[in-house]
Amino acid sequence: MLAVESLVAGYGRHRLARLGRLEVGPGQAALLLGPSGSGKTTLLLAIAGLADVLEGTVRIDGVDVAGLRGAARDRFRGRAIGFVFQDLHLIAGLSTLDNVLLAPFAIGARQDRRRALALLEELGLAARARRPAETLSRGEAQRAAIARAMLLEPKLILADEPTASLDDETCRRVADLLGRAAAETGAALVIATHDLRLRERFEVCVSAEPVGAQAPVS
């Protein structure tokens, strides 16, 4: 589960975005709303330990990520957090299966091919497992990325604008998939988005505030 308290995220001396308070339990989901440029990605990266936590605290499953150093922080991120992006999904030249196995590879963990194949099958990609990643459609690539985010049974799944520029039907399906992924793995799900269509499906919403602005928590 995720607990964020008065987070100010940025890099070094640059305070970029603020997030008041957010708690997401296992299998639950929350939207991190805000227009483009409001610092949503920076907040996600701070939660994942890739941007600086300048104020406040971030706890994932009780662990203070900012308190971890170097390799331990990287390993924790690989183990406990799954990422899904808008269009950065797969590495071309590798098969779909190998792309899913990038998650354990990145932290030197055991690569469970059977579970990876099962996840791909569950997401309707069984026939694509051995295909080169670049032959997949955009939607298929994103589903493969979701499978990768689920593979190590993370505590938290972070999705950055996963539905931007998708039509309504596809948007709904992606939201369903992410919700199901979180529920199945018992992870907390945070979706950073400016896509208001998602508000219909997820009830918990917080707003990213660019530092200096004082937008209310909705």
Partner 1 sequence: MNRVKLIGAFIRRRPLTWGFHALTLALGVAVLTAVLALNAGLSGRFQRDLGGIDLVVGAKGSPLQLIMSAVFQLDQPTGNIPLPVVRMLAGNRLVQRAVPVSLGDNVGGFRIVGTSTQYPQIYDARLAAGRWWSAPMEAVVGAQANRSLRFSVGQAFVGDHGLARGGETHRDSPYRVVGVLAPTGAVIDRLVLTDTASVWKVHERETLEHLQALNAGKPPDPNDINRSPGGREVTAVLVKYRSAMGALMLPRYVAAMPNLQAASPAVETAHLTTLLGTGAEVLRAFAVGLLALSAVGFFVALYAAVSQRRRELALLRTLGARPSLLFALVTLEGLALGLTGGVAGIALGRAAAVFAAHAASRGGGPSLPLPPIGGPDLMVLAGALLLSLLAALAPGFVAYRTRPAAALGAG
Q: Are 217 and 50 in contact (CB under 8 A)?
A: no
Query: How many of the other CB atoms lie within 10 Å of CB of 49?
Result: 22
How many angstroms separate the CA atoms of 55 and 7, rounded?
A: 5
Residue 163 within binding range of partner 1, rule CB under 8 A: no
CB of 165 to partner 1, least distance (A): 15
How many angstroms separate the CA atoms of 209 and 211, rounded?
A: 6
Identity of the residue, 80 or 172, whose beta carbon is nearer to partner 1 in the bound complex: 80
Identity of the residue, 105 or 135, whose beta carbon is nearer to partner 1 in the bound complex: 105
Residue 160 forms beta bridges with which residues? Answer: 192
Residue 24 forms beta bridges with which residues? Answer: 2
For partner 1, the binding residue among 67, 93, 176, 197 (CB under 8 A) is 93
Q: What is the CB-side half-sphere exposure of residue 69 using CA atoms within 13 A?
A: 0
Determine the interface stretch with partner 1 among 20-28, 67-75, 121-129, 195-203 (rule: CB under 8 A).
67-75
Kindly list the residues in this chain that would bind partner 1 in the complex (CB under 8 A).
10-11, 14, 16, 39, 41-42, 45, 48, 50-51, 70-71, 74-79, 81, 83, 85, 88, 91-94, 98, 101-107, 111, 148, 160
